[in-house]
Structure 1
Amino acid sequence: MPTGKVKWFDNDKGFGFLASDDGQEVFLHANALPAGVSEVKVGTRMEFGVADGKKGAQALSVRILDAPPSVAKAARKSAGDMAVIVEDLIKLLEHTANGLQKGKYPDKASGSKVAAVLRAVANDLDA
């Protein structure tokens, strides 16, 4: 089976192209991706079958060989730094919870800041 890398893939449109190791450009539709996979990143190595479609070569029965390294993981904070951040987040949430227990939501500016911090910490942990 031929192998290659994802040249580009538009998750919204559900298709893209592979650059095969022999230099051929192959159409990749989301339907050809393995079960449970709905999107792929540029540079992902794949093995695939090829069929001649109306507009040229088309990938079939795609198997992901290896994904490109994550930039987010490479830039990830150390576990020690994240521990300090999480401890500060806990204090922030405790302060917010105290106000909520008294029946008072935080004002819009404070609520937005807490939400932004939560999203940032979640992104760091999810990388």
Structure 2
Amino acid sequence: MATATKLKISSAAQAKRYFQDKMAFTTGPVELERWAKQGQPVNIVDVRAAEDYAEGRIPGAVNLPKDQWQDSKMLKARLRKDKINVVYCYSHVCHLAATAAVEFASKGYPVMELEGGWRWWKNDGFEIEK
């Protein structure tokens, strides 16, 4: 006999808060591409390993791998306080970008996370820089 998964029902108010927060701190590839082309105040930050960044990245992205997050000079050189730092990692199942967002926000940098990361950007056919 098959068992059904019991769904947890949350309040509508709780769901509203969750999705408002999600929309405030995440963006998708289409929106990011539009912002970049329009010259909006975004700084694209690739938190993947340097070797992966070298193989291909979102145009204009700076590289800030995890082993450099505690280097205050590197943070000041790569992150911006006058722009939204949109961070991305490998894919939608990688938590490296979310970890970076927490780290950078705790140091006073405005951040958003790119949903889907590099994989969605590349697979959806957006421009790639090498």
TM range (shorter): under 0.3
More strand by share: 1
Which one has the bigger helix percentage? 2
Q: State TM-score, norm by structure 2.
A: 0.24
Return the TM-score normalized by structure 1.
0.24
